Amino acid sequence: MTPLALTLASPQHFSILEKLLLALLTLTSAALFWRRFGAVLDKILKSKKDAGFSLFPLGRRVWDFVWEVMLQAKVIRQRPLAGLAHAFVFWGFCAFALVTLNHFASGFGLGFLSPDGFFGRFYFDFAAVFAIACAVGILELFIRRFFIRPKWLGKKLSWESGFIALLIFVLMATYLAAFFVADASTAVRVLWWVHTLAILTFLPIIPHTKHLHLLVKAVNCA
């Protein structure tokens, strides 16, 4: 059994047509992402500077970053159950950063995490643990938002949030599903492409939604 991202690090290869399609889809997704995020970033860079801004005390800033961003302590403290679910999703994305880079590199035959190496085997299993936690977390947030919705969230349903939750769940599910299929099977290729399309759909959506905070919160906190 091997995880999804390992399947193309093995002798399985894409055709030239598949690589060209992957390159086209990746460039399109990145361009759509930057079209919106570039404008947001430009406004941030052109905004009025805080006259009282200082990096010091640096130790305090580092601690705030670790405590509030990496450990998600503030979110968990404010709303323990929902905060923990949110943290699972965030930690899942952190764990998947390396997996995703390898995933796309593997599509071009340049995968750098090998199933034959200790680190590769360890990291893919490590990511699988976070994939389970992330899937559970996003499912809990989806149920909370659409079925047992707190009054303070209001009555208006956010189908945008529902669609993003679906994409995240698909990402985790396809990764985990690949543990249970043979490397050379057609199912591996299907899972790989579904996983890829979910990522490429999710990327350009981020700057248009409240999920933009995934990119700017860390910098803002620091």
Predicted confidence at residue 41, as pLDDT, reads 79
Q: Is residue 107 part of a domain?
A: yes
Which residues lie closer than 8 Å to 23 by C-beta, 6 or more apart? Answer: 108
Q: Is residue 49 part of a domain?
A: no
Predicted confidence at residue 68, as pLDDT, reads 85
Q: Which amino acid is at 73?
A: A
Count of domains forming the chain: 1
| Contact predicate 218/65, CB 8 Å | yes
Q: Mark 66-102 as b/e (b = at least 16 C-beta within 10 Å).
A: eebbeebeebbeeeeebbbbbbbbbbbeebbebbbeb
Query: What is the rounded distance in angstroms from the CA atom of residue 134 to the CA atom of residue 155?
Result: 26
Q: Is residue 116 part of a domain?
A: yes
The closest of 92, 76, 53, 95 to 222, measured between CA atoms, is 53
Q: Is residue 145 part of a domain?
A: yes
Query: What is the rounded distance in angstroms from the CA atom of residue 51 to the CA atom of residue 49?
Result: 6
**Could you give phi then psi for residue 2, rounded to 5 degrees?**
-135, 145
List the CATH number of the domain containing 93.
Answer: 1.20.950
| Contact predicate 88/136, CB 8 Å | yes
Query: What is the rounded distance in angstroms from the CA atom of residue 37 to the CA atom of residue 79?
Result: 29
Predicted confidence at residue 87, as pLDDT, reads 92
Please state the pTM of the whole predicted model: 0.82
Q: Is residue 51 part of a domain?
A: no
Q: Is residue 169 part of a domain?
A: yes
Query: What is the rounded distance in angstroms from the CA atom of residue 163 to the CA atom of residue 116?
Result: 36
Predicted confidence at residue 66, as pLDDT, reads 87
**Could you give phi then psi for residue 57, rounded to 5 degrees?**
-75, 125
Q: Is residue 92 part of a domain?
A: yes
**What does DSSP assign to residue 152?**
G
Predicted confidence at residue 11, as pLDDT, reads 38
**Residue 172 belongs to what domain range?**
4-34+56-221
Predicted confidence at residue 21, as pLDDT, reads 95
Query: What is the residue-level pLDDT of the chain in tens, covering all 222 positions?
Result: 455 545 544 435 788 999 999 999 999 999 999 998 888 778 877 777 776 766 677 788 888 888 888 888 888 998 888 889 989 999 998 999 999 999 999 888 888 888 778 898 899 999 999 999 999 999 998 888 777 776 656 666 677 788 999 999 999 999 999 888 866 678 888 899 999 999 999 999 888 777 666 666 555 555
The closest of 219, 166, 165 to 55, measured between CA atoms, is 219
